[in-house]
Amino acid sequence: MTPRPSVEATRRPANAEEALVVKSRAEGLSFYYGAVRALKDLNIEIREKRVTALIGPSGCGKTTFLRCFNRMHDLTPGTRYEGRIILFPDSIDLVDKGVDPIEVRMRIGMVFQKPNPFPKSIFENVAYGLRVRGLRSKPRVEEEVERALRRAAIWDEVKDRLDSSGLSLSGGQQQRLCIARALATNPEILLFDEPTSALDPIATARIEELIAELRDQVTVIIVTHNMQQAARVSDYTAFMYLGELIEFDNTSKLFTNPSQKATEDYITGRYG
């Protein structure tokens, strides 16, 4: 088994003063599915090159919130945003109608619950996004594909079969391939929507390990139902309930001494 990095390598001191840069900020964000207000006036800052976990019971709005960041809702008719999600440093409003969702998705990648590689070769799965970005030079594409596969910690497993179908890989490998695909375009934020819910514990540990490695390179927002996973991989945790942000804090603080009773009840399993 691959040795895990030391605690020092994966955890920052809980109370160390950090020069935190805000990568994105939701300001008075509400979201509507038709007449239903699924998100209610969210205000939250996402710190750069940190992992932020969104937790809460089913229907609390965490996935809805996550999907706002790369305009996934634009594909659903009858939806509407209120408020803003500012992306720094250029201060663009991600949910502004004037901002091109394709451009947003280039800068903000997403990895879904179920691995969804294209029915193409492993190489093409990763190269696709690069070509969409306009990269044509074959050696450059090869270089970037290798780089992305290495960053996603799957290069050693696939380097001898880059022409095999992405669908021939195991579930965990497929998910890491999807992460490589998302990383290929050098996104500034990577969104994970319950990325390990379909995986076994070993494959889950590999993804978590990968997220721990990525935290120094990219800002991560992860939705998870597994609270221990949130506790393990994230620096900050937001607890949501009924479309509202109930509590947002350092993960270590939130899981040892939450300020809100609703958070305490949820994370300790006291909801009937």
Binding site for another protein (CB under 8 A): 57-60, 227-228, 231, 241, 255-258, 261-265, 267-272
Query: At closest approach, how far in Å is the CB of 168 from another protein?
Result: 36
Shortest CB 242 distance to another protein, Å: 9
Closer to another protein by Cβ: residue 81 or 241:
241
Write the DSSP symbol of residue 222. Answer: E
Our CB check for another protein shows the closer of 93 and 264 to be 264
Which tokens sit at 264? Answer: 């305490």
- Tokens linked to 253: 């603080």
User: Nearest 5°: phi and psi at 265?
Assistant: -60, -40
Q: Which is nearer to another protein, 109 or 258 (CB)?
A: 258
Radius of gyration, CA atoms only, the chain: 19
Closer by beta carbon to another protein, 170 or else 259 = 259
Minimum distance, C-beta of residue 268 to another protein, in the bound complex (Å): 5
Tokens of 185: 């375009």
Nearer to another protein, 167 or 262 (CB): 262
**Distance set, CA 147 to CA 130, 179, 189, 211 (Å):** 12, 12, 18, 16
Q: How far is the CB of 134 from another protein (least distance, A)?
A: 46
| 60 phi/psi in degrees, rounded to 5 | -80, -15
Q: In what order do the strands lie in the sheet with 244-250?
A: 108-111, 189-193, 219-223, 51-55, 236-241, 244-250
Least distance CB 229 / another protein (angstroms): 11
